[in-house]
Chains A and B, each alone.
Chain A
Amino acid sequence: MPPLLQIDKATIRFGGLTAVSELDLQIGRNELVGLIGPNGAGKTTAFNLITGVYQPTAGNITFDGQSIARSKPYRITARGIARTFQNIRLFPSLTVFDNVRTVFHLHLRGDVRHALWRGKGYHAEEKSIAERVRELLDIFQLGKFRDEPAKSLSYGDQRRLEIVRALAARPKLLLLDEPAAGMNATEKVELTRLIRYIRDRFQIAILLVEHDMHVVMGICERIVVLDYGVKIAEGNPDEVRVNSKVIAAYLGE
């Protein structure tokens, strides 16, 4: 069986700067992979390549058997890749409920005519969406904030809500961009547990970009290390930890 996500020699240049160079990366179904590297190594750029925010200058990206290298972000999401952002990007004026509900338009059977006619089918569908949103919110203990505007939530809750919103797209691959940023030690432990739980409960693959070594080493089965846009190491946490190139990249020689 081919891997869920396959990146072949993806390169992206911004003018003279090569942000990511000939990156090869494979992610299997239900695999938990970490992407690490020092500041400016190209981790978020790699993310943006996968999600279609940037198009690769060269190389190819295949997801679930189809090339997505030239697809628009919203199409890639519909195919099954959902993401969170390094600096939280919720829909601040929408309620917690609506933040998640908005994503369900991906699974709507009816189109805009349904919404205008407001017949039985429409109400039934909205009701089942409300039910599924409630389930998702309850799993992540966000049900009590249902009608609060997303911007009024605490930082940690906003992070969790962003993950819930991404899961509402029913992704096969979830991309988490520095989910532990700005969290204290207890919250990080909590987050680690949460990520593992998501992978097991929803049976999806997760690609994690993270600065925090404890988080990455603790949960990832495989770690890919980038430095200056080039992959310098790949392997399980124990291999990466003792890799001399990785140590050099992080600590200097």
Chain B
Amino acid sequence: MNIRHAKSLLLGAIALGFLASRFADKINPYWLYIFYDIGISIVMAVSLNLINGYTGQFSLGHAGFMAVGAYTSAVITNQCGEYNFFIANGIFGLALFTGGLAAALAGLLVGLPTLRLRGDYLAIVTLGFGEIIRVILQNMEQVGAARGLSVMHGWTNLFWTFGLAAITVYVVASLVNSTYGRGFIAVHDDEVAAEAMGINTTKYKVTAFVVGAFFAGIAGGLYAHSKQFLTPGGFGFMQSITFVVMVILGGMGNTIGVILAAILLTLLPEGLRMLSGIEHLPGVTEERPLSWIGDTRMIIYSLLLIGLMLTRPQGLFSYRRKGN
């Protein structure tokens, strides 16, 4: 990551997202939604990477934070009618931010038990937390309970998704690459030594959870206003696992790797779906010769994951950290 020009890169990415959103109506809507999914996955995976990768706290509840942000922002925007472009985007930004704050608060609550727990035990606590969120939502009549919640406004666009993805990457990269932020990695490497070197490990761990949860909440808001329908089941344990897989595949504590893994794993199921839709192959008489891929798509996906983990256990993208 280019550290020196990080801020200009950030502004560039946001401007690019804005430009792209101006031409959104020229893009096939199917692809547009895949782009949204990619942006949301990047926000989720990069923010989870701060907790799991850099700070070394094994969290399995990231989808729970996402749910908090999604429902909070959806409830806010559902109160609003139709507005012109600027007001709508203003409200949306505010709703996303509030969703992020709500998730950050949840992150603080989960962060506190991490002071006493590590490794597998922490994983179980965060898993339990994610399930609690899901079950609460499932029983909350105000947000549609198990029937789900319709989101009135499809305000998510390329500007917001990629602008916020860029901000997430910037914040996480800036944090861990500063002298202050090397403390996250120190906590990951050796907690006892970190504490002996003057690092308030408690504060660092809670900070990682709060910042990670904040961005997961924002990703949840983007998700809510792109899918326009929320069900508690969409934020289950398996969803959390998907993000953990992105982090592991990208190489724990490697931001660029995790971004690439998020893109890859979002595209892969769609790519397989497209393969199965091919009508003819040269030299093959059969119609739709690859349709079997469609039926076994998720199996292929899983097998690819197993294969990748066996061949690149350190993550797809080789892992070497340098001082800047």
Task: For the complex formed, measure the closest distance between the CB of B66 and the CB atoms of chain A, giving whole angstroms.
Answer: 23
Do A146 and B199 contact each other (CB < 8 Å), given the known contacts A93-B185, A93-B189, A116-B174? no
Q: Is the interface of B mostly helix, strand, loop or mixed?
A: helix
Q: Does B321 contact A (CB under 8 A)?
A: yes
Partner of A92, one of B179, B189, B195, B199: B189
B197, A102: Cβ atoms closer than 8 Å: yes
Q: Which B residues are in CB contact (< 8 Å) with A95? A: 321-323
| Residue among A106, A118, A149 with the highest chain B CB neighbour number at 10 A | A118
| Residue among A83, A91, A147 with the highest chain B CB neighbour number at 10 A | A91
Task: For the complex formed, measure the closest distance between the CB of B207 and the CB atoms of chain A, giving whole angstroms.
Answer: 8
Task: For the complex formed, measure the closest distance between the CB of B184 and the CB atoms of chain A, giving whole angstroms.
Answer: 10
CA distance A115 to B178 in the complex (A): 6
The 8 A CB mask of A58-94 against B (1 = contact, 0 = none) is 0000000000000011100110001101000111111
- Name the residue on B nearest A104 (C-beta): B179
CA distance A78 to B178 in the complex (A): 19
Q: Does A241 contact B (CB under 8 A)?
A: no
Interface members, chain A 80-137 (any B CB < 8 Å): 82-83, 85, 89-95, 97-98, 101-106, 108, 111-112, 114-116, 118, 122-123, 125-126, 129-130
Q: Is the interface of A mostly helix, strand, loop or mixed?
A: helix
Q: Does B292 contact A (CB under 8 A)?
A: no
B323, A101: Cβ atoms closer than 8 Å: yes
B196, A77: Cβ atoms closer than 8 Å: yes
Q: Which A residues are in CB contact (< 8 Å) with B188? A: 93
- Name the residue on B nearest A111 (C-beta): B180
The interface size of chain B toward A, counting residues with CB under 8 Å, comes to 32
Q: Does B293 contact A (CB under 8 A)?
A: no
Do A115 and B323 contact each other (CB < 8 Å), given the known contacts A51-B196, A89-B193? no
Q: Which A residues are in CB contact (< 8 Å) with B236? A: none
A94, B180: Cβ atoms closer than 8 Å: no
Do A112 and B196 contact each other (CB < 8 Å), given the known contacts A91-B185, A101-B182, A147-B322? no
CA distance A91 to B189 in the complex (A): 5
A105, B182: Cβ atoms closer than 8 Å: yes
- Name the residue on B nearest A113 (C-beta): B180
B180, A97: Cβ atoms closer than 8 Å: no
Q: Does A165 contact B (CB under 8 A)?
A: yes
The 8 A CB mask of A138-162 against B (1 = contact, 0 = none) is 0000000011010000000000000
- Name the residue on B nearest A175 (C-beta): B196
Q: Does A204 contact B (CB under 8 A)?
A: no
Do A98 and B323 contact each other (CB < 8 Å), given the known contacts A91-B186, A108-B180? yes
Q: Which B residues are in CB contact (< 8 Å) with A116? A: 171, 174-175
Do A93 and B321 contact each other (CB < 8 Å), given the known contacts A74-B201, A105-B179? yes
Q: Does A169 contact B (CB under 8 A)?
A: yes
Task: For the complex formed, measure the closest distance between the CB of B287 and the CB atoms of chain A, giving whole angstroms.
Answer: 53
Q: Which B residues are in CB contact (< 8 Å) with A90? A: 189-190, 193
- Name the residue on A nearest B191 (C-beta): A89
B323, A146: Cβ atoms closer than 8 Å: yes
A114, B197: Cβ atoms closer than 8 Å: no
Partner of A105, one of B180, B207, B323: B180
Question: Which 6 pairs from chain A and chain B are nearest by CB?
Answer: A115-B178, A77-B198, A91-B189, A97-B323, A89-B193, A102-B182
B binding-site residues for A, Cβ under 8 Å: 4, 6-7, 171, 174-175, 178-183, 185-186, 188-190, 192-201, 207, 253, 321-323
Could you show 25 A-B contacts with beta carbons less than 8 Å apart? A53-B192, A73-B195, A74-B197, A82-B196, A83-B196, A90-B190, A91-B189, A94-B185, A94-B189, A94-B321, A95-B322, A97-B323, A102-B182, A102-B183, A102-B197, A105-B180, A105-B182, A105-B198, A112-B180, A114-B178, A115-B175, A115-B178, A116-B175, A147-B322, A169-B197
